[in-house]
Every structure is written in C-alpha cells, then in structure tokens.
Amino acid sequence: MSVTIKISRSHAKRAAYTEDYTVEYEKGMTVLMVLEHIRESMDATLSFRWNCRAGRCGSCAMEINGIPALACKAEIPADAKEISVAPMKIFPAVRDLVVDLTPMREGLRKIGGFQSAQKPFFKMHDYDIEIAGEMRRCIECGICQDVCHVLREHKKNYAGPRFAVKAAANEMHPEDRESRAAEMEKLGLGYCNVTKCCQSVCPEKIRITDDAIIPMKEKIAGLQRKEFFKKILGGGKK
C-alpha cells in the first residue's frame, strides 16, 4: 500500500510548484515522519521545520489537506491515497513548507510581559487560574492565525486570535490589576465575527472564541458604554 504526498514547494527564485512523492504506508505514520523520510532518502533539499515531534513546541504547523495542523500529530489514515501538504498562507513564505514566524513574536511586543505589582508568593486556587491557565497552554504554532478569515481575507486592523489569547492570559491572571479593555480594543477584537474557526483547529483545544474573545469583547463593550455616558453626562467637564 502506498500513499502520495503532494508537497507545495517554493524557493526564493521560483514560484510555488507541487511535487509528488510516493511512499509506502506504515501503520501509525505521521506527516512529519514522511517528510523526514523524503528528506533522508528521496530529496535532500526538502525544507520544513520541526523540533519536538510531540505536539509541544508548535514548530511544524502546515496546511494538511487544506487545513492547518501540526505535522507531528497528523497521522496518515490507512485508506489515504493522497495527502496534500502546503505552508501556512498567512505568514511570509521562506522555503517549501517553512514560513516566517517572526510576526508571532512581533505581535507579542504590543501586549508585553506580565509583571505583578504585588510580591509573591501568591495565594490563589486552582479555580482562580483555570481560564488564565487555559490561555497559557498556547504553543504559539500560528494555526489559529492561519485559519482566521478576517486575517486571510480582510487584513483589517485585527491582531488575530493568538494575540487575543495572550491578552486574555494577562487579563485573567488573578494578580492582574490593570484595566486592559482599551489595550484589547486596539488589538481590533471588534473585527472578529465569532465564527469559531480558530478554536476548532487549535491543537491545544483552547476555547479561543468562547473563553478569550467573547469575554474580552464584553469588556470592550463595557468600556465603550462607560465612555459614552461619561461623554454625554460630562460630569461637569467637556
């Protein structure tokens, strides 16, 4: 039994093209294993990114049959005849399946690191940190950014789901004393129309829309309401 892997390749000097590799099927084989097999014994120039091969580091995200996923966790079904593999489209292409993930890091600059005003050790309970902990599970793979149609089709001033997750991680930290609604508004969360694509593909199963974006949209709405009344009631000032 064999399976054909159709890989979308690109070099700096050449437009993207598809190259087919046919390999023998083996039970339990993953897309990443096949890519490494191709590089080692069929085409030494094939380029892709991986590191932990356990779904922990988030290095090997790519579009597998059109859907972004981690190659290390993508098992090839026994009845598959063909699998298409392509780089994530939302990030700048580097070579073959490798894209430039620098925007993932640059986006974090807008949010910044958490620094508590209080001195640890803190007293908090597991139930206090459930949601912040969920957000902190993010492995920064970029899959949610890649699947987001707002980013793909509109490129509005929206930072994207990953950064909503990051902002929510800070916002929902029990020791967070800042008011972050204005900061989150700047991330363009208003553009998200809650189709939940991001949370359906998240390899860490973070409920991005339900637990990060929607609660934050509510906070932004609260801020806007406050500002509205402040403006019309004035409190004596213009």
Partner 1 sequence: MIMEILKTEILVVGAGGAGLRAAIEASDHGAQVAVLSKSVLGKAHTVMAEGGIAAALGNADPKDNWKVHFRDTMVEGQMIADWDMVSALVQEVPERIKELEAWGALFDRDENGKIAQRAFGAHTYKRTCYVGDRIGLEILHTLEDQVIARNIEVRDEAIATKIIGSNDKNNNKNKNRIAGVICVDLKRGEVFAIQAKAIILATGGAGRLYKITSNSWETAGYGYALAFDAGAQLQDMEMIQFHPTGMVYPQSAAGLLVTEAVRGEGGILLNSKGERFMEKYDKKRMELSARDIVARAVYNEIKEGRGTAHGGAWLDITHKGANYIIKKLPSMYDQFNTFAHVDIKKEKMEVAPTAHYTMGGVKTNINCETSVAGLFVAGEAATGVHGANRLGGNSLADILVFGRRAGINAAKYSSKTEYAEMDKDEISEELKRMDAPFKSNGVHPSEIKKAAQKIMWEHAGIMKTEHGLRQALEGIEKLKTMKAHADGSLQYNLTWVEAIQAAGMLLVCEAIVRSALERKESRGAHYRSDFPKQDDKSWMVNIICRNMKGKMKLEKKPVPQMPEELKRLLP
DSSP designation for 191? G
**In the numeric block, which tokens belong to residue 133?**
């902990």
Q: Is 58 in the site for partner 1 (CB under 8 A)?
A: yes
Q: Is 173 in the site for partner 1 (CB under 8 A)?
A: yes
Please report how close the Cβ of residue 27 comes to partner 1 at its closest, in angstroms: 7
β-pairing verdict for 93-95 and 98-99: antiparallel
CB atoms within 10 A of CB 41: 9
CB atoms within 10 A of CB 128: 15
Please report how close the Cβ of residue 29 comes to partner 1 at its closest, in angstroms: 6
Measured distance CA(64)–CA(61) in Å, rounded = 9
Asked if 146 and 63 touch (Cβ cutoff 8 Å), the reply is: yes
Q: Which of 66, 120, 235, 236 binds partner 1 (CB under 8 A)?
A: 120
What are the φ and ψ backbone dihedral angles of 5, each rounded to 5 degrees?
-100, 120
Q: Under rule CB under 8 A, how many of the chain's residues touch partner 1?
A: 67
Q: Is 9 in the site for partner 1 (CB under 8 A)?
A: no
Burial class for 208, CB neighbours closer than 10 Å (0-12, 13-18, 19+): buried
**Which residue is it, tokens 């292409």?**
93
Q: Is 200 in the site for partner 1 (CB under 8 A)?
A: no
Nearest to 77 by CA among 14, 28, 143: 28
DSSP designation for 30? B
Stretch that binds partner 1, among 25-33, 80-88, 189-197, 225-233 (CB under 8 A): 25-33
3-state secondary structure of 73: coil
Nearer to partner 1, 57 or 223 (CB): 57
Q: Is 38 in the site for partner 1 (CB under 8 A)?
A: no
Q: Is 126 in the site for partner 1 (CB under 8 A)?
A: yes
Asked if 132 and 173 touch (Cβ cutoff 8 Å), the reply is: yes
Q: Which amino acid is at 215?
A: P
Stretch that binds partner 1, among 32-40, 154-162, 190-198, 230-238 (CB under 8 A): 32-40
Q: Is 182 in the site for partner 1 (CB under 8 A)?
A: no
Please report how close the Cβ of residue 73 comes to partner 1 at its closest, in angstroms: 5
Q: Is 159 in the site for partner 1 (CB under 8 A)?
A: no
Q: Which of 63, 96, 146, 211 binds partner 1 (CB under 8 A)?
A: 96
DSSP designation for 75? B
Q: Is 79 in the site for partner 1 (CB under 8 A)?
A: no
Residues at the interface with partner 1 (CB under 8 A): 11-12, 26-30, 32-33, 39-41, 44-45, 47-59, 72-73, 75, 94-96, 98, 100-102, 104-105, 108-109, 112-116, 119-126, 128-129, 132-133, 136-140, 169-170, 173, 175
